[in-house]
Amino acid sequence: MKKLLIVDDAAFMRLSIRNMMNNYDIEIVGEAANGLMGVEMYKELHPDVVTMDITMPEMSGIEALKAIKAHDPQAKVIMVSAMGQEGMVKEAIINGAKTFVVKPFKEEFLYQTISKVLGL
């Protein structure tokens, strides 16, 4: 079972992603509520893939992405963006994010995206 780390400051969104992945062979190994926590949890939990929100307190998703990539250049990070954040998504891709999903998204789409990134 592949391990997913969810990084999002909104508890509602963390829960949504967790529920969406219930029906698939993806294990949620951790939930982080800001970028800083996300980086720490990545180092500790070694997930196969990360869903990374963009705007968060403490440390933004882009800063967290950079820190994770510096620690593990192979890290697979999917950016979770809201509408109107095209510029930030571009910056994230330049900094090593594998791809992105735009909220709101359906569970099949999220799973397909994760599968593709993991080469399943």
Binding site for other proteins (CB under 8 A): 9-13, 55, 57, 82-84, 103-104
Tell me whether residue 49 or residue 56 sits nearer to other proteins (CB atom). 56
- CA-angle at 110, arms to 19 and 31, nearest 5°: 50
> Which CB, 75 or 97, lies closer to other proteins?
97
Least distance from C-beta 10 to other proteins, angstroms?
5
Q: How far apart are CA 14 and CA 20, in angstroms?
A: 10
- Interacting residues of 33 by C-beta distance below 8 A, sequence separation 6+: 8, 9, 11, 14, 56
Choose between 55 and 95: whose C-beta lies nearer to other proteins. 55
Closer CB to other proteins, 69 or 91, in the complex: 91
Single-letter amino acid code for the residue at 94 = I
Residue 118, token pair as written in the block: 């993991």
- C-alpha torsion sign, points 3, 18, 70, 103: positive
